[in-house]
């Protein structure tokens, strides 16, 4: 099963690569992985994760070991994570720090999008060097003033440089200063509960920033990728730009198409488990996102895996919702959720499903056809997916170290059975059997523009 074809074949693997597709009854293989009656997919590529990442005075619950074990179990064989530049510090320092931790621990292949929080001209050569060394994408935040947010001039400077050196820009699109004001007013009025996460981040704050990011990218002449898009109005802005032929791309995440802002009202501070930025929205937004996934206004489904524990982490924001560490775990369930609700739910085709979780991110982020494809010469990253197996999602059985599951008790039909990373089986019968540190850095090159 690929993003464009469905066919029955044996996959012959030689070393770490796919050697041939066809029928090979004469070949005496060292090992045969039985996949009759199952789907064989290219390994998932998740271009948006936060492992071992600092946020709001705490650190995400998964490091590069537990997080990538969860990824592997979920059928993802490559992730792209985000080193965060300290203001005033050469971005290569945070890049090297993330690199060292991933190299020691990751069990799937990995790469990095450098976050830029500060860009005096003296850091330009650092960006150029990161691109030359295989990390040709940068992320900036229009949200989180006083922390990661950069102003429009910095965004434009980074975009212009990236246009010159052939890189790619990812944008977190929310109007940070306006949201900051709304949050402060809410707290002053005694509105301190998790539900105010969505009330203080209305769709137009996302749409305005999305339009602004697109305009700045157009001015700079650089392709732009909008991360974790959740609002219909923001998607309208992306759709309009794409209709004009601009190189504008966007991702959404399973939680935005499957969970609604009603979860934020869960009693006993349970709503904190669903606090994220941008926030969960209403079913009308979800329908618009599904349409966008079908019609290619959205090109990728990532997870934005940002796992915190409820106990001791989400609880930090009791009585003060802006202090709740924002984000949800998701790295482990993307394939199963998108298959069950997308494909089985009749919303997207099987080929489109493969495209959204594997082929399109590999193309956009410069590692196709090594990743995201089943073809001779591609890395033998393969997922055997049993479309009939029934599973129940639960924190009791998950690999991620978050202590809750946003989809607790949900029943899915379809599960990852076996996963191969560069020809080696790392998941068997749904259980991890790989080795710490066996994931490798993927040097990425030029982005392939999607049609
Ligand atoms: O709330 C979210 N999305 N947390 C992760 C950090 C980010 O902005 O991507
Ligand atoms: Zn973000
Ligand atoms: Zn994120």
From first to last of its 451 residues, the chain has per-residue pLDDT tens of 899 999 999 999 999 999 999 999 999 999 999 999 999 999 999 999 999 999 999 999 999 999 999 999 999 999 999 999 999 999 999 999 999 999 999 999 999 999 999 999 999 999 999 999 999 999 999 999 999 999 999 999 999 999 999 999 999 999 999 999 999 999 999 999 999 999 999 999 999 999 999 999 999 999 999 999 999 999 999 999 999 999 999 999 999 999 999 999 999 999 999 999 999 999 999 999 999 999 999 999 999 999 999 999 999 999 999 999 999 999 999 999 999 999 999 999 999 999 999 999 999 999 999 999 999 999 999 999 999 999 999 999 999 999 999 999 999 999 999 999 999 999 999 999 999 999 999 999 999 988 7
Tell whether omega for the bond before 369 is within 30 degrees of 0, i.e. cis: yes
Beta carbon of 366 within 6 Å of any ligand 1 atom: no
Q: Which atom of ligand 1 is nearest to the CA of 172?
A: 8
CB of 136 within 6 A of ligand 1: the answer is no
Could you tell me if the CB of 205 is within 6 A of ligand 1? no
Q: Is the CB of 306 under 6 A from ligand 1?
A: yes
Q: Is 309 in the pocket of ligand 1 (CB under 6 A)?
A: no
Distance CA 425, CA 357 (A): 20
Quote the pTM value.
0.98
- Give the position, in ligand 1's atom list, of the atom nearest the Cα of 275: 1
What whole-number distance in Å separates Cα of residue 356 and Cα of residue 117?
Answer: 29
Beta carbon of 148 within 6 Å of any ligand 1 atom: no
Counting ligand 1 atoms within 8 A of each CB, the residue from 47, 48, 49, 50 with the most, and so the one to mutate, is: 50
Instruction: Supply the pLDDT for residue 449.
Output: 83
Distance 62 CA to ligand 3 centre (A): 14
pLDDT for position 183:
98
Task: Name the closest-CA residue to atom 8, ligand 1.
Answer: 277
* Nearest protein CA to atom 4 of ligand 1, as residue: 327
pLDDT at residue 38 in the model: 98
The pocket of ion ligand 2, defined by CB under 5 A, consists of 172
Give yes or no for residue 277 CB within 6 A of ligand 1. Answer: yes
Q: How far is the CA of 172 from the centre of ligand 2 (A)?
A: 5
- For residue 82, report the distance from its CA to the centre of ligand 2, in Å: 10
CB atoms within 10 A of CB 449: 10
CB 141 within 8 A of CB 449: no
């Amino acid at each position: 099963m690929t993003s464009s074809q469905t066919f029955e074949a044996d996959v012959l693997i030689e070393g770490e690569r796919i050697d041939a597709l066809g029928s090979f009854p004469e070949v005496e293989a060292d090992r045969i992985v039985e996949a009759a009656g199952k789907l064989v997919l290219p390994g998932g590529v998740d271009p948006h994760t936060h492992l071992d990442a600092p946020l709001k005075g705490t650190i995400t619950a998964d490091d590069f070991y537990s997080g990538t074990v969860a990824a592997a179990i979920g059928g993802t064989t490559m992730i792209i994570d985000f080193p965060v530049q300290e203001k005033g510090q050469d971005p290569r320092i945070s890049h090297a720090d993330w690199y060292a931790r991933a190299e020691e621990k990751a069990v799937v292949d990995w790469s990095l999008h450098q976050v830029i929080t500060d860009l005096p001209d003296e850091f330009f050569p650092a960006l150029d060097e990161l691109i030359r060394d295989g990390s040709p994408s940068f992320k900036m935040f229009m949200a989180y003033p006083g922390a990661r947010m950069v102003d429009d001039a910095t965004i434009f400077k980074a975009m212009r440089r990236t246009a010159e050196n052939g890189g790619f820009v990812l944008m977190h699109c929310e109007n940070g200063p306006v949201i900051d004001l709304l949050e402060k007013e809410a707290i002053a009025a005694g509105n301190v509960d998790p539900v105010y996460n969505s009330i203080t981040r209305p769709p137009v704050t996302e749409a305005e920033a999305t339009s602004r990011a697109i305009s700045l990218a157009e001015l700079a002449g650089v392709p732009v990728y909008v991360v974790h898009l959740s609002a219909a109005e923001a998607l309208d802005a992306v759709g309009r730009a794409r209709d004009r032929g601009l190189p504008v791309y966007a991702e959404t995440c399973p939680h935005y198409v499957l969970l609604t802002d009603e979860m934020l009202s869960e009693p006993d501070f349970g709503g904190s488990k669903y606090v994220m930025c941008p926030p969960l929205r209403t079913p009308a937004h979800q329908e618009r996102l599904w349409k966008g996934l079908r019609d290619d206004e959205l090109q990728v489904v990532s997870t934005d895996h940002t796992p915190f524990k409820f106990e001791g982490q989400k609880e930090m924001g009791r009585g003060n919702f802006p202090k709740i560490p924002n984000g949800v775990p998701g790295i482990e369930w993307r394939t199963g959720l998108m298959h069950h609700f997308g494909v089985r739910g009749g919303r997207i085709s099987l080929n489109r499903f493969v495209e959204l979780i594997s082929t399109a991110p590999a193309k956009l982020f410069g590692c196709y056809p090594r990743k995201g494809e089943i073809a001779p010469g591609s890395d033998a990253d393969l997922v055997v997916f049993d479309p009939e197996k029934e599973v129940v999602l639960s924190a009791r059985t998950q690999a991620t170290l978050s202590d809750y599951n946003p989809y607790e008790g949900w029943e899915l039909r379809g599960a990852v059975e076996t996963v191969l990373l560069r020809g080696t089986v790392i998941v068997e019968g749904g259980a991890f059997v790989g080795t710490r540190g066996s994931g490798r850095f993927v040097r990425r090159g030029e982005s392939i523009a999607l049609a």
